[in-house]
């Protein structure tokens, strides 16, 4: 029996200089542009930072009746893959914008290991500042200025993107965001970790979708050099300073599935939020696995419904 190779599972090769060669080439979808007449949802690309080579894709319904909530979205990708331009991410944001409905600002943050944490949190902070500028400065983005309700801004992330959304929410407390109100944080199957194994991690260590050796590898590639899985970027349970801030944030929506290797950590995380004064809505389903919405349209639709009800 051959030894399991997490690099092969993720379809990447680690190079001597610490970068990755990514062998999985996912299809991409271009933005529609600002005046496409045959789309229910319009999208356009906006530069976030030329220096960091980060950008965003903004979505809005083609027909907007009044002001809409603004959802700042952080994609999945296991820290090391994906782009907002990937078709599977694009379609998810497209449905989110059309069905909630909402203005969706999807942030294409930098990938590890070329850019390790906290680079992704810094990109999220840049996005928060950018949205705030649209609310406070003249001559900003027309879509947000005309259709965005800055009193209803939400941070939303999936998997590692949920980790980014959580840390972005904490960082928002130290930013001057007088133009926007952070109304809530949406965490879909958040990617957290820790040195001590949970029961679900041990039970599902060989899970075909998200096995434990792969999760360990992703943290090895994403965390700052020399840091272990009990670093606060990975394990929010050990971050006492941040726990004291949770009651200052808006409400939380946490979504998870019973077949996810990380389900125990997600449920422990919800308990931690509640114990520290946060307002939490938890939507856990016994059936399902990590990333199920990427292959099951019914579950993808259910998650959008959860978000719509929450917003």
SS3 content of the chain, % helix, strand, coil (to 5): 35, 25, 40
Can you tell me the distance from the alpha carbon of 301 to that of 101, in angstroms, rounded to the nearest whole number? 13
Relative orientation angle of helices 160-172 and 119-136, to the nearest 10 degrees: 60
Q: Which of 115, 167, 231, 290 is catalytic?
A: 290
Beta bridge partner(s), residue 86: 28
Asked whether the predicted pLDDT for residue 159 surpasses 80, the reply is yes
Residue 38's pLDDT band (cuts 50, 70, 90): confident
Residue 35 in domain: yes
Can you tell me the distance from the alpha carbon of 29 to that of 44, in angstroms, rounded to the nearest whole number? 11
| Contacts of range 285-289, beta carbons closer than 8 Å, 24 or more positions apart | 285/256, 285/257, 285/258, 286/257, 286/258, 287/257, 287/258, 287/259, 288/257, 288/258, 288/259, 288/260, 289/207, 289/209, 289/210, 289/257, 289/259, 289/260
Q: Which of 70, 117, 76, 129 is nearest to 97 (CA)?
A: 70
174 is catalytic: no
Can you tell me the distance from the alpha carbon of 68 to that of 66, in angstroms, rounded to the nearest whole number? 7
pLDDT tens, position by position, 167-222: 999 999 999 999 999 999 999 999 999 999 999 999 999 999 999 999 999 999 99
Domain count, the chain: 1
CATH of the domain at 246: 3.40.50.1820
Q: Which two tokens stand for residue 19?
A: 């970068």
Residue 20 in domain: no
pLDDT tens, position by position, 99-151: 999 999 999 999 999 999 999 999 999 999 999 999 999 889 999 999 999 99
Question: What pTM value is reported for the model?
Answer: 0.97
Q: Which of 159, 167, 200, 231 is catalytic?
A: 159
Residue 89 in domain: yes
147-156 mean pLDDT:
98
Q: Which of 207, 239, 260, 264 is catalytic?
A: 260
290 is catalytic: yes
Residue 11 in domain: no
Strand, coil or helix: what is 307? Answer: helix
200 is catalytic: no
Residue 12 in domain: no
Can you tell me the distance from the alpha carbon of 40 to that of 38, in angstroms, rounded to the nearest whole number? 7
Residue 305 in domain: yes
Q: Which domain range does residue 157 map to?
A: 29-310
Contact, 292 vs 255, CB < 8 A? Answer: no
Contact, 151 vs 103, CB < 8 A? Answer: no
Residue 5 in domain: no
Residue 16 in domain: no
């Amino acid at each position: 029996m051959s030894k399991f190779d997490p690099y092969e599972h993720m379809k990447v090769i680690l190079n001597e200089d610490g970068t990755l060669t990514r062998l999985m080439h996912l299809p991409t979808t271009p933005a529609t542009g600002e005046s496409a007449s045959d789309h229910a949802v319009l999208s356009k690309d906006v530069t976030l930072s030329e220096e960091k080579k980060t950008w965003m894709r903004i979505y809005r319904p083609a027909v907007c009746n009044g002001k809409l909530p603004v959802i700042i979205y952080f994609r999945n990708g296991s820290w090391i893959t994906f782009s907002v331009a990937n078709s599977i991410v694009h379609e998810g944001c497209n449905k989110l914008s059309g069905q909630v409905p909402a203005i969706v600002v999807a942030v294409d943050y930098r990938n590890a290991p070329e850019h390790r944490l906290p680079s992704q949190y810094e990109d999220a902070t840049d996005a928060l500042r950018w949205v705030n500028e649209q609310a406070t400065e003249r001559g900003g983005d027309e879509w947000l200025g005309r259709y965005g309700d800055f009193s209803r801004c939400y941070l939303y992330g999936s998997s590692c993107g949920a980790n980014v959304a959580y840390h972005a929410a904490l960082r928002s407390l130290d930013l001057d965001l007088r133009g926007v109100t952070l109304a809530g944080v949406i965490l879909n199957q958040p990617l957290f970790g820790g040195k001590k194994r949970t029961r679900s991690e041990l039970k599902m260590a060989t899970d075909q979708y998200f096995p434990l050796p792969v999760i360990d590898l992703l943290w090895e590639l994403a965390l700052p050099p020399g840091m272990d899985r009990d670093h606060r970027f990975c394990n929010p349970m050990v971050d006492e300073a941040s726990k004291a801030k949770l009651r200052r944030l808006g409400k939380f929506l946490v979504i998870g599935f019973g077949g996810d290797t990380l389900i125990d950590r997600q449920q422990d995380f919800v308990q931690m939020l509640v114990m520290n004064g946060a307002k939490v809505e938890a939507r856990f389903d016994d059936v399902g696995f990590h990333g199920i919405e990427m292959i099951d349209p019914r579950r993808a639709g259910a998650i959008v419904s959860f978000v719509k009800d929450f917003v």
